[in-house]
Structure 1
Amino acid sequence: MTEKYKIRDQDKIYFVTFSVVQWIDVFTRPDYKNILIENLNYCQKNKGLEIYGWCLMSNHMHLIVGRNGQEKIQDIIRDFKKYTSVKITNAIEENPKESRREWLLWMFRKLAEKSNKHQKYCFWQNEYHPIELSDSMIMQQKLDYIHNNPLEEQIVNNPEDYRYSSAVDYAGGKGLIDIKFIE
């Protein structure tokens, strides 16, 4: 990770993005999306992850995160990415309805062959580019950016209508993940 993108202060809030290798559209099925949701909930309950905002798109996920425990943010992210990459590739392997199974697994396997870090499959891009959100204006800008992703992609007419986002929470509803509101 370059010097520009490092988590320096564990008590700050960060904007991060996780992208699938080659920007492959994997999150087109609820089963794969739910693996991420379940693991984010696990990280909140068991690792001290605080989520202020999030949005899952077809090939990437944006989060605004902090922590409320002793575990370092980068360690939580590392464990999240490692666990979900294995769970999602296993789900693809085992899904008889996955029409792109052979191609997806071939791509992930080929990319792993080029990596010293991955053994069987390479699912996530290595970087997640944490950006420290130092004031409320920058936090709101990133939150708006996250929530407007599905709108920009013409998936929904209103950000709060997108199921895989915290926009519904900020609009007064209840989303899939418990969030801590930006004040």
Structure 2
Amino acid sequence: MSTKYKIRDQEQLYFVSFAVVYWLDVFVRNEYKDVVLESLCFCQKNKGLEVYAWCIMTSHVHLIIGTNDKKMEDILRDFKSHTSTQLRKMIKDNQQESRREWLLWMMERAGNKNSNNNGFQFWQQDNHPIELWDNYMKEQKLDYLHDNPVVSGFVSKAEDYLYSSARDYCGEKGLLDIILIE
């Protein structure tokens, strides 16, 4: 019996979280967060991804997503594969990255421990999708996602965190086009 979380209904919204292996704080640099944003934007335009909310923390990403025509697990697989490759290259080539050797070593270590990989792993294996089947769950996950930077002490108000959709929900334009949850 599989213990993995599954996306069962492609027409529902899902709260999805995924983290860097060993919860490494990779997203302390904006250029790394921008790779995630660019990939989400690409998936919106080319793969049918619908983004309702998002937040990039230092070691993980939270999304509320849906899809209009493709399987969500396929979109997430492609997204994680692309960002993994791009971020590995960026870290490797970034002469300003003081933790470069250590980060690459940790990701190689994770990849060597996982038979699904070829000696390198950026993201943890699972996505933890949670189906948002009612308004209470949608509001709860939306609040959790947007409050994450506040709870972590990065900002005092959720809408002040640049790498989140919280500002979209306060009437300002954020970094990524989203569909507001009503």
Matched, 1:141 2:140: yes
Offset at residue 8 of structure 1 (A) = 0.6
Gaps of 5+ in 1: none
Q: Who is 1:92 aligned against?
A: 91
Secondary structure in 2 matching 1:31? helix
Secondary structure in 2 matching 1:123? coil
TM-score normalised over the length of structure 2: 0.97
- Distance of 1:56 and 1:137 partners within structure 2: 23
- Distance of 1:120 and 1:79 partners within structure 2: 19
Q: Who is 1:48 aligned against?
A: 48
Aligned pairs for 1:1-183 (under 5 A) are: 2=2, 5-69=5-69, 71-183=70-182
Offset at residue 2 of structure 1 (A) = 4.0
- Distance of 1:4 and 1:59 partners within structure 2: 21
- Distance of 1:181 and 1:19 partners within structure 2: 24
Please list every run of at least 4 consecutive aligned residues from structure 1 whose deviation after the TM superposition is greater than 3 angstroms.
1-4
- Show CA shifts across 1:23-77 (max 9, x none): 00000101100000000000000000001111000000000000012x1000000
Offset at residue 111 of structure 1 (A) = 1.1
- Distance of 1:120 and 1:3 partners within structure 2: 24
- Distance of 1:67 and 1:107 partners within structure 2: 33
- Distance of 2:45 and 2:29 partners within structure 1: 25
Q: Is the 8 A contact 2:50 2:68 kept in 1?
A: yes
- Distance of 1:90 and 1:121 partners within structure 2: 12
Q: Is the 8 A contact 2:4 2:126 kept in 1?
A: no
- Distance of 1:66 and 1:13 partners within structure 2: 5
- Distance of 2:129 and 2:103 partners within structure 1: 27
Secondary structure in 2 matching 1:108? helix
How many residue pairs get matched?
182
Offset at residue 120 of structure 1 (A) = 3.4
